[in-house]
C-alpha cells in the first residue's frame, strides 16, 4: 500500500503545530520557522522590525517570537514595488543575532498573507496551531483540507483542534468575518465529513456527507470541529448545542459557534455556560445542508463571548436568506417585520415573573433598570392571561390562554411501535406538543427505515429519544396541522397586542436559566419531556418564530459539593422582540450594559466574569 499523505506535527517554543503534505512534494527533511511581512509595513530599522513582530505577537495566538528566530524573514513586495528596500546596518546585525535570513519575494497579499509559516524543503506551509480539547467540546476537528485532523499534541490525554493564524485573514469591508474562528454544531453537513447528530448509528448509515451546509459555504468557515468549564467543572451542559457552547466558553482561541435552536438548544446552554446567545428569527439564515429536527420550529443560533461578534455574523450579507412560511401563515405573508427601530417599551409578563430565586430575580431586575434608563421609560408589567381575556379573538378570549395553549387528554396508544406507551392518558399540550413530537419523529423515518434495511435491526437511540419517538407514534398529520394553526392564532394576537411592530415596537423580558448549581451527575426525572405547553417562557420565541437574545449579566455564588468551596454560576437576562429585530435586541443590550458600566464581554474558563463581592452581581470592576 502506497502512502499518499504525511501529517506533520512539530513543536516550536512549547507549542505544537501541524500541516499535511502529499508524499510526492519535494518537502525535504529540514523544517524551519518563517515570518512573512509586507515591505510596506516596515521602515527596516531595528525598532521598525521589532514593532511589526510585536504587533503580530499581540494580535495573534498562533504567532510567537520563536518564528523569527533561526529561520526565514520573508519580505513581500506587493506587486507594484520594484525596488528592494535598503537595510540599516543595525537591522542586519539584528537579523544575525536572531540567526534569521532575510529574503524578498514578489507576491500579492491574498497569495502570501502576513503571518507565521514553516519551510520544509522548498515548500512554505501555513502554521496551524494545535490546541488540546480539554473539555471535549468537539466531535471532530478538521485539517486545513477539510479532512478529519489526524494529529496529536501535548500530553496525549485529549484530542486536539487546529486553528490558523488570524493574520492570514485580515477583516475587510467585503469580508468582515475574516479572522473569526467559528465552530459548527454537528448537525451541519460538511462535504466529505461524517455528520453524527451525536449518534453512532446515524454516522454508520450515511457515511461522509456529499454536500456542505449553505450557511457554512456562505460564511467560508475554514474548519469546524462537553464539559462545562464554569464553576467547579461538573455543571450540566443543558442542550444539544452544548458542544458549541463548550468550545466558546472553554477556549479563548474560539470566537463564535454556530448551532441550531428548535425548542431551546441555543438558549438553555447559553444560560448554563454564561454566553451571549441569539436564537435567530425564522428565515434569517439558510438551513439547507443542516439536518432538521422539527422543521416547524428549527432555526439557527449563534453563540459568542462578545455581542459584537454576534453582530458581525448577523450583518454578514452572505449569511442572510429569504423568508419562509411559519406556523399558521399564508405563503404570501412575510415572516419578518421589516420596520425595525428603537423599541417603544419593555414588557414584563407577570405570568412568569418574578423568578423563584430571590437573588436571581434581583440581578435580572437590575438589568431591567438599566434597560429602562437606556429607553427613558418604565417597563410595562402585564399579565398575558388577563390581556388575552380582554383583547383575544372574540370566539376564544373566554377560554383562558393557558388552557388554549395547554392541555388535551390523549387516548391510550394502540401503536405497534415497540417504545409506544400502551396506556397514555396523561394530559398533553396540543398546540406545541403535536407538531413538536410529530416532526421530531417523522423527520427520522428515512433514517430508521434505512438503518433497519441495511443492518437488520433498529438503530440505537438514547432513552430520551426512545421515549420521545414512542410518544409521537399516535399523533396524526391532521393534529400536527391543528397545533400549528392554533399557534398561528397565538402569533397574530401577540404581534397585534403585545409586540405591536407597526406602532409601538415592544420587546419582552423573559426569565431564563438556573440560579446556581446544576450538577451533571444528577439523573433526570423519568418522563420529563420538553415543550409540554406553549404557555411557557422558554417556548414563547420558539412557537412564534421570534428572535431571542441571551445576555450574560452576573454570577451567583454557590457552595460546590465537588470542589468544597465557593463557585459561581452564570446569571443571564433574556429579551425577545418582533421578527427581524435581532440586531435591535443586541444594540439595546449593548447600550444598556455600556451605560451601566457593566462588562460586555465574558471570559473563557472557570468564571464568566472576574468575581467581585462589592455588588449584588458578584462581578469585579474589570469584568
Span 331-382, pLDDT tens digits: 223 344 545 467 789 999 999 999 999 999 999 999 999 999 999 999 999 9
Whose cell is 429585530? That residue is 581
Side-chain-side CA neighbours of 423 within 13 Å: the count stands at 0
Residues 70 and 164 placed together within one structural domain of the fold: no
Residue 332 has what pLDDT? 28
pLDDT digits (tens, 9 = 90+) for 457-469: 888 877 777 888 8
CA angle 578, 282, 599 (to 5 degrees): 60
CA angle 556, 558, 560 (to 5 degrees): 145
Which residue has better confidence, 482 or 291? 482
Average pLDDT on 217-237 reads 63
pLDDT surpasses 80 at 209: no
Average pLDDT on 403-420 reads 51
For the chain, report the end-to-end CA distance as a whole number of angstroms. Answer: 57
Q: Which three cell numbers stand for residue 546?
A: 421570534
Residues 28 and 144 placed together within one structural domain of the fold: no
Residues 146 and 261 placed together within one structural domain of the fold: yes
Residues 290 and 264 placed together within one structural domain of the fold: yes
Residues 147 and 84 placed together within one structural domain of the fold: no
Distances (CA, A) of 365 to 153, 388, 541: 47, 25, 21
Residue at 543 is within a domain: no
CATH number for 178: 3.90.1300.10
Q: Which three cell numbers stand for residue 617?
A: 452581581
Average pLDDT on 443-454 reads 87
Residue 145 has what pLDDT? 59
Residue 565 has what pLDDT? 92
Residues 185 and 93 placed together within one structural domain of the fold: no
| pLDDT-based confidence at residue 226 (cuts at 50, 70, 90) | low
Q: What is the DSSP letter of 498?
A: I
Residue at 23 is within a domain: yes
Residues 166 and 298 placed together within one structural domain of the fold: yes
Side-chain-side CA neighbours of 615 within 13 Å: the count stands at 19
Residue at 270 is within a domain: yes
The contacts of residue 123 (CB under 8 Å, 6+ apart) are 21, 25, 26, 27, 28
- Cβ atoms of residues 65 and 94 within 8 Å: no
Residues 165 and 302 placed together within one structural domain of the fold: yes
Average pLDDT, the chain: 80
| pLDDT-based confidence at residue 472 (cuts at 50, 70, 90) | confident
Q: Which three cell numbers stand for residue 332?
A: 404570501
Which residue has better confidence, 136 or 50? 50
Residue at 437 is within a domain: no
Residue at 616 is within a domain: no
Residues 110 and 144 placed together within one structural domain of the fold: no
Residue 24 has what pLDDT? 58
Residue 183 has what pLDDT? 78
Residue at 296 is within a domain: yes
Residues 183 and 99 placed together within one structural domain of the fold: no
Side-chain-side CA neighbours of 396 within 13 Å: the count stands at 15
Q: How many domains does the chain have?
A: 2
| pLDDT-based confidence at residue 261 (cuts at 50, 70, 90) | confident
Residue 111 has what pLDDT? 80
Residue at 440 is within a domain: no
Q: Enter the pTM of the model.
A: 0.77
User: Which of 314, 349, 370 is where one domain is finished?
Assistant: 314
Residue at 189 is within a domain: yes
**Rounded CA gap, 357 and 196, in Å?**
38
Domain around 193: 136-314
User: Which of 107, 128, 149 is where one domain is finished?
Assistant: 128
Average pLDDT on 204-214 reads 66
Residue 112 has what pLDDT? 87
- Of 423-427, 483-487, 529-533, give the lowest mean pLDDT range: 423-427
Residue 117 has what pLDDT? 93
Average pLDDT on 402-429 reads 49
Residues 92 and 206 placed together within one structural domain of the fold: no
| pLDDT-based confidence at residue 218 (cuts at 50, 70, 90) | low
Nearest partner of 587 among 278, 245, 256, 274, judged by Cα = 278
Whose cell is 454556530? That residue is 258
**Rounded CA gap, 546 and 335, in Å?**
9
String of DSSP letters for 379-444: -EEE-HHHHHHHHS-TTTTTS-HHHHSSEEEPPPP----TTS-S---SEEESTTHHHHHHHHHHTT
Residues 168 and 61 placed together within one structural domain of the fold: no
pLDDT digits (tens, 9 = 90+) for 71-127: 888 888 876 655 667 777 888 888 888 888 888 888 777 788 999 999 887 788 899
User: Which of 314, 344, 376 is where one domain is finished?
Assistant: 314
pLDDT surpasses 60 at 574: yes
Q: Which three cell numbers stand for residue 359?
A: 437573588
Residue 604 has what pLDDT? 92
| pLDDT-based confidence at residue 414 (cuts at 50, 70, 90) | very low
The contacts of residue 618 (CB under 8 Å, 6+ apart) are 554, 555, 556, 557, 568, 609, 611, 612
Average pLDDT on 18-37 reads 76
Quote the percentage of the chain above a pLDDT of 90. 35
Amino acid at each position: 500500500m502506497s502512502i499518499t499523505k504525511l501529517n506533520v506535527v512539530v513543536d516550536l517554543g512549547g507549542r505544537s503545530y501541524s500541516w499535511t503534505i502529499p508524499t510526492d512534494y519535494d518537502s525535504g527533511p529540514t523544517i524551519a520557522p518563517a515570518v512573512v511581512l509586507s515591505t510596506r509595513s516596515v521602515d527596516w530599522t531595528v525598532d521598525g522590525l521589532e514593532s511589526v513582530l510585536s504587533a503580530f505577537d499581540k494580535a495573534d495566538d498562533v504567532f510567537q517570537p520563536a518564528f523569527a528566530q533561526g529561520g526565514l524573514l520573508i519580505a513581500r513586495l506587493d506587486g507594484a514595488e520594484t525596488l528592494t528596500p535598503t537595510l540599516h546596518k543595525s537591522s542586519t546585525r539584528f537579523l544575525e543575532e536572531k540567526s534569521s535570513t532575510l529574503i524578498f519575494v514578489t507576491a500579492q497579499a491574498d497569495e502570501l498573507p502576513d503571518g507565521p509559516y514553516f519551510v520544509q524543503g522548498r515548500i512554505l506551509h501555513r502554521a496551524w496551531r494545535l490546541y488540546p480539547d480539554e473539555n471535549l467540546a468537539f466531535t471532530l476537528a478538521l485539517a486545513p483540507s477539510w479532512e478529519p485532523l489526524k494529529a496529536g499534541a501535548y500530553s496525549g490525554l485529549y484530542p486536539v483542534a487546529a486553528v490558523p493564524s488570524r493574520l492570514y485573514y485580515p477583516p475587510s469591508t467585503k469580508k468582515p468575518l475574516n479572522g473569526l474562528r467559528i465552530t459548527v454544531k454537528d448537525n451541519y453537513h460538511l462535504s466529505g465529513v461524517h455528520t453524527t447528530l451525536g449518534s453512532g448509528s446515524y454516522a454508520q448509515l450515511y457515511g461522509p456527507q456529499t454536500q456542505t451546509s449553505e450557511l457554512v459555504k456562505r460564511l467560508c468557515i475554514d474548519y469546524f470541529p462537553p464539559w462545562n468549564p464554569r464553576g467547579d467543572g461538573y455543571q450540566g451542559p443543558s442542550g444539544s448545542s452544548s458542544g458549541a457552547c463548550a468550545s466558546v466558553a472553554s477556549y479563548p482561541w474560539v470566537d463564535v459557534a454556530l448551532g441550531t435552536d428548535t425548542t431551546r438548544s441555543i438558549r438553555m446552554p447559553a444560560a448554563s455556560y454564561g454566553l451571549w446567545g441569539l436564537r435567530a428569527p425564522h428565515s434569517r439564515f439558510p438551513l439547507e445542508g443542516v439536518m432538521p429536527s422539527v422543521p416547524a420550529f428549527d432555526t439557527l443560533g449563534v453563540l459568542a463571548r462578545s455581542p459584537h461578534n454576534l453582530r458581525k455574523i448577523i450583518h454578514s450579507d452572505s449569511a442572510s436568506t429569504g423568508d419562509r412560511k411559519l406556523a399558521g401563515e399564508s405563503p404570501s405573508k412575510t415572516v419578518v417585520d421589516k420596520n425595525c427601530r428603537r423599541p417603544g417599551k419593555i414588557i414584563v409578563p407577570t405570568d412568569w415573573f418574578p423568578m423563584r430565586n430571590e437573588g436571581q430575580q434581583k440581578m435580572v431586575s437590575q438589568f431591567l433598570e438599566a434597560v429602562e434608563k437606556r429607553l427613558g421609560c418604565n417597563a410595562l408589567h402585564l399579565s398575558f392571561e388577563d390581556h388575552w381575556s380582554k383583547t383575544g379573538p372574540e370566539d376564544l378570549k373566554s377560554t383562558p390562554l393557558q388552557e388554549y395553549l395547554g392541555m388535551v387528554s390523549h387516548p391510550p396508544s394502540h401503536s405497534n411501535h415497540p417504545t409506544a406507551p400502551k396506556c397514555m392518558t396523561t394530559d398533553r399540550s396540543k398546540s406545541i406538543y403535536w407538531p413538536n413530537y410529530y416532526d421530531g419523529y417523522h423527520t427520522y423515518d428515512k433514517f430508521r427505515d434505512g438503518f433497519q434495511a441495511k443492518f437488520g435491526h433498529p438503530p440505537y437511540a438514547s432513552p430520551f429519544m426512545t421515549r420521545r419517538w414512542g410518544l409521537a407514534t399516535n399523533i396524526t398529520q391532521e393534529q400536527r396541522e391543528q397545533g400549528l394553526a392554533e399557534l398561528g392564532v397565538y402569533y397574530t394576537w401577540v404581534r397585534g397586542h403585545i409586540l405591536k411592530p407597526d406602532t409601538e415596537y415592544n420587546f419582552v423580558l423573559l426569565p431564563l436559566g438556573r440560579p446556581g448549581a446544576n450538577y451533571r451527575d444528577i439523573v433526570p426525572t423519568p418522563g420529563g419531556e420538553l415543550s409540554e405547553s406553549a404557555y411557557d417562557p422558554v417556548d414563547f420565541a420558539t412557537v412564534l418564530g421570534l428572535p431571542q437574545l441571551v445576555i450574560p449579566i452576573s454570577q451567583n455564588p454557590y457552595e460546590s459539593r465537588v470542589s468544597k468551596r465557593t463557585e459561581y454560576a452564570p446569571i443571564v437576562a433574556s429579551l425577545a422582540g418582533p421578527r427581524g429585530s435581532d440586531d435591535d435586541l443586541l444594540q439595546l443590550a449593548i447600550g444598556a450594559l455600556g451605560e451601566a458600566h457593566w462588562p460586555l464581554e465574558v471570559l473563557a474558563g472557570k468564571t464568566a466574569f472576574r468575581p467581585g463581592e462589592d455588588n449584588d452581581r458578584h462581578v469585579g470592576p474589570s469584568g
